[in-house]
Structure 1
Amino acid sequence: MKAKLFIDEILIGIINLEISDESMGVLSGVLIPNKAYKNYQNEIHKHFEQKGISNIEDFNYKILLENGFQLKPEGGIGILHSREFSDEIIVETAGNNIEEIKNFC
Structure 2
Amino acid sequence: MGKQMTEMLKGTLEGVVLAILSMRSAYGYEITAWLREQGFTDLAEGTVYALLVRIEQRGLVDVVKVPSEKGPPRKVYSLNAQGRDYLQEFWRTWSFLSERLDRLQQEGR
TM bucket normalised to smaller: under 0.3
TM-score normalised over the length of structure 1: 0.28
More strand by share: 1
TM-score normalised over the length of structure 2: 0.27
More helix by share: 2
Q: Which one has the largest radius of gyration? A: 2
